[in-house]
Chain A
Amino acid sequence: EAGVTQSPTHLIKTRGQQATLRCSPISGHTSVYWYQQALGLGLQFLLWYDEGEERNRGNFPPRFSGRQFPNYSSELNVNALELEDSALYLCASSSAGLAGGYGSYNEQFFGPGTRLTVL
């Protein structure tokens, strides 16, 4: 079974540009999560999508946005890039999001990440 895939592996942008990161979940998983792993800041939750809807977002400015497509893949967009946006962006997927209830405790499976560098 294929795992979570992310593209691109690396992305280099300059300040003020926009970045688009992509994620394909494990087949059968309906929930997709995005996390940022920045040096010194640890792993921070960005966004949760389930069944095409944004279900929760972390403490990030609105220039971080995304969407989930009908095939459950997802896209993370970061507008007006700043130097501090440089980080590893991790996507995860799990089964039975809302269908399993908000208390669903299925584990999240992570992709290899996209390394975003802002110059």
Chain B
Amino acid sequence: AQSVAQPEDQVNVAEGNPLTVKCTYSVSGNPYLFWYVQYPNRGLQFLLKYITGDNLVKGSYGFEAEFNKSQTSFHLKKPSALVSDSALYFCAVRESQGGKLIFGQGTELSVKP
């Protein structure tokens, strides 16, 4: 069965510092990985995806993610955090046959001024 795990419920970062939100995955076959962000009382916004190719994927709002096959990880990164980045972040893997996204439990990112 495919799954993703986000080992940290909360990440606290000072504004201007780099941020990392961790995600590990377990899949059979090639992983199709996604990051989404959710602001309070809102739906999910797509940030980026990894399908194949370059291990460093660039996405929206200055975010990027690094795919590491040997460590089965897909960590989300940003060089310089903004207060407005504070939100709930979800890592997801696309089920190969069933179409659905399987989500991690989410990581609450808090960026303080």
Contacts and interface: CB of A to CB of B under 8 A. Distances in A.
A31 interface: yes
A43 B101 CA distance: 9
Contacts of A4: 43
A25 interface: no
Interface residues of B, number: 24
Contacts of B45: 110
A90 B44 contact: yes
Interface string B90-107: 100010111111111110
Contact of B43 (A45, A90, A103, A104): A90
Interface string B41-66: 11111100101000000000000000
Contacts, number: 62
Interface residues of A, number: 28
Given A33-B100, A42-B103, A110-B36, A105 B46 contact: no
A57 to B, nearest CB: 9
Contact of A43 (B32, B49, B103): B103
Interface of A: 4, 6, 31, 33, 35, 42-43, 45, 48, 50, 55-56, 58, 90, 92, 97, 102-105, 107-113, 115
